[in-house]
Amino acid sequence: MFLSRFRVNTARPGARRLLSSPQAMHAAVMSAFPHLLPSDRPAPDHPRVLWRLDQRGHAEIWLFVVSPTRPDLTHLVEQAGWPAVATPDEPGWQTRPYTPFLDRLTPGTQWGFRLTANPVHTIRRKEGEPRKLTAHLTPVHQMGWLLDDKRLTRLGFRVLEKPADRRTLPAGLTQHKHPHHGDRYELAIRDTRSLNFQKRTGGPVTLVTVTFVGRLEITDADAIRRTLTQGIGRGRAYGCGLLTLAPLPPTGPRSA
C-alpha cells in the first residue's frame, strides 16, 4: 500500500476543471495506475484506490491518494501542478510506503483523524412507498452517522470523548438535546458541501460531503487497517471515504 500527496496549483485552468468535477478528478486519479482499466471494479474486501481533497487555505489544496500500487501522477503535474520545476528526484508529488505504518497500528493507541464522507440513510415518506436513500443534512445527524456504535465497531475505532471540564453544554448535549453528539465528543465538522455533476454514463448526481476532524482510539487493529485501505461509506469514487491518521501533539489543538 502507498500514500501519496499532491499539491494542486489552483492558478491553472486544468486544476480548476478538476476541482469543479469529482467525476473528472476521479478519472485523473485512476489514470495514475496504468494496469487499471476504466471498467475494472475493486473486489469486495480488497484494498482500493481512495482519494480526498483537503483545502487548508484559500489557494492551498492537497490531493491525498491511498492505493495498492505506486501511482504515476505525471499527468496531474502537467495539468494541475508545477511542471517547470519538476525533477526526477522531486517529480511534483510525494509517495511513501503505507504498509509499515498500517502494520504498526495497535489497539489502545490514540490518533488525530480526518475523514471526508457521504453520510446517508434510507427513509420512507409514506406507508407502502419504497425506502429512498437520502443525505443527512444537519450536523447533529451527520455526526450521528459516524458515531453509530455498530458502524464504529466495524471500522475498528471509537471517537474519544471530551473531558467534562472542556464541555460547554451539560452532559455533552447539543442545543437540539441530542444525547450523543456535539459537545460530548472530540469531533468537529470542518466543511459540508453539496456537489452536483453529470456522470459520463448516466444521469445527474447530487452528493453531500462532510469533512470530519477529531481524535480516535483504535479498538481493532485489523478492522481499522481495512477501513484505511477500503474506505468508509458511499461516494468513494468521488473523493469520499478516505480516513487518514496523524500523531497527536502532546499539548495544543485536539483536532487533526
Q: Going from the N-terminus, what domains does the chain have, and what CATH number goes with each?
A: 2-102 (3.30.70.1200), 105-246 (3.30.70.1210)
What was the pLDDT predicted at 130? 73
Torsion of CA 220, 224, 226, 228, to 10 degrees: -170
Supply the pLDDT for residue 182.
54
β 60-67/2-8 pair status: antiparallel
Residue 63, amino acid: L
> Per residue in 225-248, pLDDT tens?
999 999 999 999 899 999 999 999
Separation between Cα atoms, residue 26 and residue 47, nearest integer Å = 17
What pLDDT, on a 0 to 100 scale, did the predictor assign at position 251?
Answer: 59
Cα–Cα nearest to 168, from 186, 183, 179: 183
Question: Quick check: 117 pLDDT over 50?
Answer: yes
Least confident of 33-37, 83-87, 179-183: 179-183
User: 54, 10, 26, 43: which is closest to 205 by C-alpha?
Assistant: 26
Of all residues in the chain, the percent with pLDDT exceeding 70 is: 86
Q: Pick the range with the lowest mean pLDDT from 57-61, 65-69, 74-78, 97-101.
A: 57-61
